[in-house]
Structure 1
């Protein structure tokens, strides 16, 4: 895949990369490997080092406990109702990304904080039980050639909501939901007012800042040697944490609330 953050497709992964992708899926409890991991696989030695550094956090339930506390106070923009008929894949996609993005926000946020030497020296973060990952099947990730031009244009418009970074990372959640274009149109209509009045941007910024403070505490739990590509890994992972993942944590949660889903 080409783009500002090239990535290895799961179906194309071989050898050690395929093994690591399988371990990530099994450990995080998801059916697909998040784009940030697939991007790290394009950097020599970055994926095995980064996964070894943060896997113990996942196994210890640290990001899960952080996510649970975060959801109690996070700012969720109130959208017009999105309840009603939609393909079953819609709720599967939303549930999967609500789980994986929020967990990754803290695990990978801790990695960024560690690489920046920002680990908080306060009380160690608590271990605890892990959140149950949704056992759902997701539709095939759509690319531009797979959908109608107007649907791809809709995906691009949605991706610009809540983010001004250039170049933008295309959120994989929208690519999955591109298989349900009528639902995406309703999402755009619901998000447009909170984007126009600035509330969406403020909510994302506040949630990002709160998550970063927690991630600095989680960084204490990372035990690793600084890798040769440390600066490149930090630049890449922070772009996802500060933009795509932080943005989609807030947006996905607000969509699920608007659909009346059990959270």
Structure 2
């Protein structure tokens, strides 16, 4: 499966794009730049505009506070069979994506909402303390040629959980976990029952709706000129909010809960 959204690889970034990627990593507290930012780097002027529009939401802890409150009432499906010992790199990947996806869900959700002119009519965005990013090293972001055919097919099957019938975007977390095929096998077995009984889809939908309502309030804090490619930016950002990020905040949190790795 190819990503339907073109993207600039971090290793290939130069000049202003490389500087912006470095600023995103430092500000969000991540080791890798989320695919949505790398996609925006392919659109003329989109990355500097979008990052300048939402950077204050990260710096002032608005997205962090929204994420912390969101986690207090998240609905999570109950996953079984994931508590076994795994390489430390597995929990490192999960911690990293749990942090970045949840914060990005609110900042990027606010951006897409603002671009559509749908910011909440009432409510004031609140600043708060920054969430501490996990200090972890991540394995290579695997591509199809880096793993066995069986592992890659499992990555693609996992990507359909909570996002059917044909996912728009290949969630990077599964590619980062592809170095641990035994864990991916356990994960697929754990997600299959909650997909079958509908509890995974219900949890994702409920959490996505709750996040969208809060993102609409955060959109009131955005002050930016209209960009040249407003429609393309909104389309791309909303696709990530609805799909890769929107489903993975629930799946990743449920997996970490099942593994007992939350602190």
Q: Deviations over 1:14-43 (max 9, x none)?
A: 000000000000000110000100111111
Q: Which residue of the partner structure matches residue 161 of structure 1?
A: 161
Q: Which residue of the partner structure matches residue 108 of structure 1?
A: 108
Give the 5 Å matches for 1:1-263. 3-164=3-164, 166=166, 168-263=168-263
Is the 1:165–1:243 contact (alpha carbons within 8 Å) kept by the matching residues of 2? no
- Structure 2, unmatched stretches of 5+, are none
Q: How far 1:2 moved relative to its partner?
A: 5.8
Partner of 2:111, secondary structure, is helix
Q: Deviations over 1:189-244 (max 9, x none)?
A: 00000000111011101100000000000000000011110000000000000111
Q: Deviations over 1:154-195 (max 9, x none)?
A: 000000010026452000000000000000000000000000
Is the 2:159–2:167 contact (alpha carbons within 8 Å) kept by the matching residues of 1? no
TM-score, L = length of structure 2: 0.98
Is the 2:167–2:243 contact (alpha carbons within 8 Å) kept by the matching residues of 1? no
Q: How far 1:84 moved relative to its partner?
A: 1.9
Is the 1:61–1:128 contact (alpha carbons within 8 Å) kept by the matching residues of 2? yes
- Aligned mates of 1:257, 1:87 — CA distance in 2: 17
Is the 2:111–2:219 contact (alpha carbons within 8 Å) kept by the matching residues of 1? yes
Partner of 1:239, secondary structure, is helix
Name the CA shift for 1:60/1:87 in 2 (closer, same or farther; >3 Å): same
TM-score, L = length of structure 1: 0.98
Q: How far 1:125 moved relative to its partner?
A: 1.3
- Aligned mates of 1:164, 1:82 — CA distance in 2: 23
Is the 2:3–2:168 contact (alpha carbons within 8 Å) kept by the matching residues of 1? no
Q: How far 1:6 moved relative to its partner?
A: 1.2
Is the 2:3–2:170 contact (alpha carbons within 8 Å) kept by the matching residues of 1? no
Alignment coverage as a number of residue pairs: 263
- Aligned mates of 1:3, 1:261 — CA distance in 2: 30
